[in-house]
Amino acid sequence: MAPVKPTLSGKMLREIFETVLTEDRLRGVVERSGLQERQRKLDAVALFRAMIVAAGTGYGGRQRDIARVYFENGARPVARAGFYGWFGPHLEAAMKEIATAAMAYARSLPLDVPPLLASCARDFHIVDSSTVKLPNDLAAIFPGTGDYAALKIHKRLSVGTGVVFSYHLSPAREHDSLHLDIDESWRGLGVLMDLGYASIDRLRKCDAHDVRYVIRLKENWKPKVESIQRGEVSETFLAGSDLDALLEDGTLLLGGRVIDATVTLGPQPRSLRARLVGVPGPDREYHFYLTNLAGQVGPRQVADIYRVRWEIESDNKLDKSCHHLDEIGAKTEASVRALVHASLIGSMLASLIAHRHRLAQPRPRGRAAERVYPPLHTQTLARAMAGTATRIAATLAMEPALAEPEWQKIADYLLLLGYDPNWRRRPSVLDQMRGWKVLPATRGRRKAAK
């Protein structure tokens, strides 16, 4: 049986946009934020939609792009100063509420967790921060690590949906570690974090709340090796020996075999017991990871799970490259925050479309399952959405009967231009974990070569 070519349904696209940006929801946001009370010429619903869909256009300044989309869809003209005056605390509160609704919708969707990850936790969340430089006039409000203004976005991304689970903002000068608390809300989940969040106490909290973790071994941590389950050992060693000493004197050899050991970290009596795995890279340099995953997950699988952390780096790139998070020239705290929220909502919409499309695709079958049709890629999809931003905003304002065929046309356009261009040559780690074995030379390419 020939594989079914995946489509992007206009109905599904409408559901995503209207769940987040539906007229009724946005009218409620307008009322709660107080935005409309003194701005009689403002069509607040149209402004909200323009802010979000214009985040990806990049034709001019961020606020200028918003004005273009807003006025092109029939809003009453106002002076430029009056338009910029709307970007205050009320608009910031409104955009934050819309972002919260988008994340709630994402959390309501089914998860698509690869089998390896699902065997460890119901979902894995990746934590990271992204720094956004701002005009220097805001240095007193958003101090950076130097003599400039910047803020940080602290994000928690769900691997199962590919959408931000939660986020908050802080001055860029604050350390990342202050913005992650492992508590009871994490129970049953997994966490992937870089060394900015490395803390023995945080790993203890993971154990206490039944949270699975994978993190790189920090250089200044001195784990003591209690036992070695896998690895090349030249002689018997005393339990509790320093890892560095065992490597230095050649007791534990780095000869190309994986290492799997039980170690303790930190002073007694509150030392942390963890699993240490070492995996040689392409250059034979070893990469060491700490984890509390069960031994059934092999060292190379642990390393593959940590590679999934790159998904949040891709999401940060989506924010900056596609939704112009690095191009905020606003001069007030409220307008900066409002524009940050708008960029993040734009990224969430692209990620939601990619996730819903992935859920609708057939599952890979068999060990040699090969993709025939490309998946959507959030960054190329976001650029396609930018190309039809004004049309999306106009379709949101249409009557349902008139909008239905327009949504399908937009969906067809996004499917045509939003696919992953590297789906054969560089499939994502998650695609491979989900069971798609993309071969480097396909039948089509071999035939074309002849």
Does residue 174 form part of some domain? Answer: no
Q: Mind giving me the DSSP string for 88-125?
A: SHHHHHHHHHHHHHHHHHHHHSPP---HHHHTT-S-EE
What is the pLDDT at residue 242? 95
pLDDT band at 3 (very low <50, low <70, confident <90, very high): low
- Listed residue (80, 90, 20, 9) closest to 49, CA to CA: 20
- Listed residue (126, 50, 105) closest to 338, CA to CA: 50
Q: Which residue has the higher pLDDT, 397 or 211?
A: 211
- For 396-416, the pLDDT digits (tens) are 888 888 999 999 999 999 999
What is the pLDDT at residue 450? 41
Tell whether the model's pLDDT for residue 231 goes beyond 90: yes
> What is the rounded average pLDDT for all residues in the chain?
90
Does residue 207 form part of some domain? Answer: no
Shared domain for 292 and 346, answered yes or no, is no
- Listed residue (282, 295, 415) closest to 354, CA to CA: 415
Q: Are 202 and 214 in contact (CB under 8 A)?
A: no
Cα–Cα distance between 58 and 69 in angstroms, integer?
A: 12
Helix axes 10-21, 89-108, angle to 10 degrees: 140
Shared domain for 351 and 424, answered yes or no, is yes
Shared domain for 295 and 336, answered yes or no, is no
Tell whether the model's pLDDT for residue 77 goes beyond 80: yes
Q: Mind giving me the DSSP string for 194-213?
A: -GGG--HHHHHHHHHTT-EE
Does residue 100 form part of some domain? Answer: yes
Shared domain for 364 and 287, answered yes or no, is no
Shared domain for 293 and 359, answered yes or no, is no
Between 17-26, 244-253, 254-263, 422-431, the lowest mean confidence (pLDDT) is in 422-431
Does residue 243 form part of some domain? Answer: yes
pLDDT band at 239 (very low <50, low <70, confident <90, very high): very high
The count of structural domains within the chain is 2
- At 445, phi and psi to the nearest 5? -70, -40
Helix (H) or strand (E) holding 214: strand 212-216
What is the pLDDT at residue 441? 52
**Tokens representing residue 117 in the block:** 């990850």
Neighbouring-strand partners of residue 376:
419
Between 69-83, 91-105, 399-413, the lowest mean confidence (pLDDT) is in 69-83
What is the pLDDT at residue 79? 86
What is the pLDDT at residue 288? 97
Q: Are 71 and 77 in contact (CB under 8 A)?
A: yes
Does residue 3 form part of some domain? Answer: no
Does residue 227 form part of some domain? Answer: yes
CA triplet 261, 265, 271: central angle to 5 degrees?
120
pLDDT band at 447 (very low <50, low <70, confident <90, very high): very low
Tell whether the model's pLDDT for residue 95 goes beyond 60: yes
Domain extent at residue 243:
213-306
Does residue 357 form part of some domain? Answer: yes
- At 123, phi and psi to the nearest 5? -165, 155
Does residue 338 form part of some domain? Answer: yes
